[in-house]
Structure 1
Amino acid sequence: MSSVTIAGVVKAYGDRRVLDAVDLHVADGSITSVLGASGCGKTTLLRIVAGFVRADAGSVTLGERVVEDGRTAVAPDRRGVGYVPQEGALFPHLDVAGNIMFGIPRGERTTSRLGELLELAELPADLAHRQPHQLSGGQQQRVAIARALAPAPRVILLDEPFSSLDAALRISAGKAVTRVLRHAGATALIVTHDQGEALSLADQVAVMRAGRFVQVDSPAGIYERPADAETAEFVGGASMIAAEVSGGIARCVAGAIPVAAADGRVRVLIRPEQVLLGPAAGAAVVGQVTEVGFYGAQVVVTLALADGTPLTARAPSARTPRPGDEVGVVIEGSAVTFGDES
Structure 2
Amino acid sequence: MTPTTGTTVHTIPRLEIRNLKRRFGDRMVVDDVSLSIMPGQVTCLLGPSGCGKSTTLRMIAGVDTQDAGEIYVDGNLICDTVFRVPPERRQIGLMFQDFALFPHMSVADNVAFGLKGPKVEKRARVETLLERVGLGWTIDVFPHQLSGGEQQRVALARALAPRPRIMLMDEPFSGLDNRLRDGIRDETLSVLKQEDTAVLLVTHEPDEAMRMADEIALMRDGRIVQQGAPYNIYNAPVDLEAVAFFSDINVIRGVSRGALTDTPFGQFLTPGFRDGQTVNIVIRPQHLKLDFDRAGKGPLPTERDGQAARGIVERARFMGNESLVEFRMDHDGSVLRATVPNVFLPQPGTALWLTLRRDRCFVFPAAQAHEAAMHP
The structure 1 residue matched to 2:21, chosen from 7, 10, 21, is: 10
Matched, 1:305 2:329: yes
When structure 1 is superposed on structure 2, of 219-228 and 308-317 the one drifting more is 308-317
Matched, 1:20 2:46: no
Equivalent position SS for 2:293: coil
- Deviation per CA, 1:142-161, whole angstroms, max 9, x where unpaired? 22111111111110000111
The structure 2 residue matched to 1:338, chosen from 341, 356, 364, is: 364
Q: Which structure 2 residues correspond to residues 26-37 of structure 1 after superposition, within 5 A?
A: 26-37=37-48
Aligned counterparts of 2:256 and 2:246: Cα–Cα separation in 1: 25
Aligned counterparts of 1:202 and 1:144: Cα–Cα separation in 2: 20
When structure 1 is superposed on structure 2, of 161-170 and 62-71 the one drifting more is 161-170
Check conservation: 1:57, 1:71, Cα contact below 8 A.
no
Q: What is the count of residue pairs matched by the alignment?
A: 340
The structure 1 residue matched to 2:223, chosen from 212, 225, 249, is: 212
The structure 2 residue matched to 1:44, chosen from 55, 69, 75, is: 55
Check conservation: 1:223, 1:236, Cα contact below 8 A.
no
- The structural deviation recorded for 1:248 is 8.4
Indicate the residue corresponding to 1:225 in structure 2.
236
Check conservation: 1:285, 1:330, Cα contact below 8 A.
yes
When structure 1 is superposed on structure 2, of 248-257 and 50-59 the one drifting more is 248-257
The structure 2 residue matched to 1:143, chosen from 141, 154, 164, is: 154
The structure 1 residue matched to 2:108, chosen from 94, 97, 107, is: 97
Task: With the length of structure 2 as denominator, give the TM-score of the two structures.
Answer: 0.83
| Rg comparison, structure with higher value | 2
Q: Could you say if the C-alpha distance between residues 150 and 255 of structure 1 is closer, same or farther in structure 2, counting changes exceeding 3 Å? A: farther
AA matched with 1:338: F
AA matched with 1:321: P
The structure 2 residue matched to 1:87, chosen from 98, 102, 113, is: 98
Task: With the length of structure 1 as denominator, give the TM-score of the two structures.
Answer: 0.90
- The structural deviation recorded for 1:251 is 4.7
Check conservation: 2:314, 2:348, Cα contact below 8 A.
yes
Matched, 1:287 2:287: no
AA matched with 1:337: V
Q: Could you say if the C-alpha distance between residues 69 and 248 of structure 1 is closer, same or farther in structure 2, counting changes exceeding 3 Å? A: same
The structure 2 residue matched to 1:315, chosen from 327, 330, 340, is: 340
Aligned counterparts of 2:351 and 2:98: Cα–Cα separation in 1: 46
AA matched with 2:287: Q
Aligned counterparts of 2:55 and 2:173: Cα–Cα separation in 1: 18
Matched, 1:117 2:129: yes
Check conservation: 1:84, 1:158, Cα contact below 8 A.
yes
Aligned counterparts of 2:211 and 2:37: Cα–Cα separation in 1: 17
AA matched with 1:117: L
The structure 1 residue matched to 2:194, chosen from 183, 196, 211, is: 183
Structure 1 stretches lacking a partner, 5+ long: none
The percentage of counterpart residues that share the same residue type is 36
Indicate the residue corresponding to 1:326 in structure 2.
351
- The structural deviation recorded for 1:167 is 2.9
CA RMSD of aligned residues (A): 2.4
When structure 1 is superposed on structure 2, of 16-25 and 243-252 the one drifting more is 243-252
